[in-house]
Amino acid sequence: MAQRRIDADTGTMRDVLARMLDGLSRGPVALARIISTSGPTPRGVGAAMVVTADGEVIGSISGGCVESALVHTCTAVLDDGEAVVEHFGIADADGIEIGLTCGGTLDVLVERVDALRRPAVQQLVGHLAADRRVAWATTLAAAPEWHFVTSPTSPPWRRLDRDVADLLASGRSGIIGVDDCDEPPGEPFEGSRPRTFVHTFAAPPRLILVGANDFVRATCGVGRALGYRVTVVDARPVFATRARFPDADEIVVDWPHRYLESEIRSGAVDATTAVCVMTHDPKFDVPTLRVALAGTDVGFVGALGSRRTVTDRNSRLVESGVTAAQLARLRSPLGLDLGGHTPAEVAVSIAAQLIAERHDASTRALHTTSGPLHR
């Protein structure tokens, strides 16, 4: 193989893919991607590196900790064509063993990509150029199979379509399936659930929390844990502060209805967006809910409140021009009946409703149901 040249980190998988296409014009390439991590690591799941047939190294997995070992693995994969998963842990204290100095661990899938894959790579690059949400599923086998999902209605694939669609909806990447897919002899290909890495290219779903109180603060943390990009919006600067909402991704001081109108106009809200109005103040609640319910792009609209508050607010919404069809979209009182009262308990009940509605789930206790746990 020719002398290797290691380029500076291109920063994103999008850049790596574009340059990988160029490398494929000169022969097969080895693609290495982080598929899982534990503890502190230099780069996260989805970081990628490519070694071309003529020895060019594109991208970065760890910023230098394990690249030399991975280049050797890539060379072997280019030679024999069999994909492998490499595990890297903490570096040897004497500096002899290849590993991570930061104390974390990571698993890297290395696979050979040849001219037969070129149309698939071009398809993926096209999706990204058009800013489409796409999940790239790769089976963790010696001869990996690829599958692209761009919407929850994509054709079923290996009984993993629901899992892939869930990761796509949440904007997360990760491993699904099982090591032993237990496929009976003679059963069709689609019956198995092999371990599969799902590499998602999508912004995380948004959770817009209207209000600046203890319930919003508790919901921020739960929302982030579920993978949402959390925005807190309130017109009162004395309450809407970073110190009070450290878990929020962004804090906006503005009238909530005005902010929401602007986000809808700019296309920053879509069917994965949830708007939860938690102010308990009609001058904020009613205008914001009117905008949210009129915006058909908003996926979930909910509002906290007692039964009396809900009845009064619904009357105000109808008086302000909200139609019966629009009002039917409103989830209020917000949350599931878990019996909780504290801000943390209310936050869990809201999160549970968001999860249940996304999966169209029954919300029943699992021990009272039958059939597969993961449908």
pLDDT tens-place string over residues 276-298: 999 988 899 999 999 999 977 79
Mean pLDDT of the chain: 85
Please check whether residue 108 is in contact with residue 43, taking contact to mean a CB–CB distance below 8 angstroms: no
Confidence label for 65 from pLDDT (cuts 50, 70 and 90): low
Which residue type sits at 163? Answer: D
What is this structure's pTM?
Answer: 0.65
Please check whether residue 175 is in contact with residue 35, taking contact to mean a CB–CB distance below 8 angstroms: yes
Largest CA distance in the chain: 76
Over residues 110-139, mean pLDDT: 90
> Locate tokens 């597969």: which residue?
372
pLDDT at 17: 87
Write out pLDDT tens, residues 21-48.
888 989 999 999 999 988 777 778 888 9
Kindly compute the dihedral angle of the four CA atoms of residues 255, 260, 262, 265, in this order, to the nearest 10 degrees. Answer: -160
Confidence label for 102 from pLDDT (cuts 50, 70 and 90): low
Instruction: List all residues 6 or more positions away from 170 whose beta carbon is below 8 Å from its beta carbon.
Output: 204, 205, 226, 227, 272
Confidence label for 90 from pLDDT (cuts 50, 70 and 90): low
Instruction: List all residues 6 or more positions away from 3 whose beta carbon is below 8 Å from its beta carbon.
Output: 55
Q: How far is Cα 135 from Cα 86, in angstroms, rounded to an integer? A: 22
Instruction: List all residues 6 or more positions away from 265 whose beta carbon is below 8 Å from its beta carbon.
Output: none
Is pLDDT at 4 greater than 50 in this prediction?
no
Inter-axis angle of helices 343-359 and 214-225, nearest 10: 40
Where do the domains of the chain lie, and which CATH numbers do they carry? 1-119 (no CATH), 133-178+193-202 (no CATH), 206-359 (3.40.50.720)
Q: How far is Cα 220 from Cα 52, in angstroms, rounded to an integer? A: 44
Is pLDDT at 336 greater than 50 in this prediction?
yes
Burial of residue 25, with CB atoms counted within 10 A of its CB: 0-12 exposed, 13-18 middle, 19 or more buried: exposed
Other beta carbons less than 10 A from residue 247's beta carbon: 15
Is pLDDT at 188 greater than 60 in this prediction?
no
Is pLDDT at 190 greater than 60 in this prediction?
no
Write out pLDDT tens, residues 247-281.
999 999 999 999 999 999 988 898 889 999 999 88
Burial of residue 371, with CB atoms counted within 10 A of its CB: 0-12 exposed, 13-18 middle, 19 or more buried: exposed
Confidence label for 167 from pLDDT (cuts 50, 70 and 90): confident
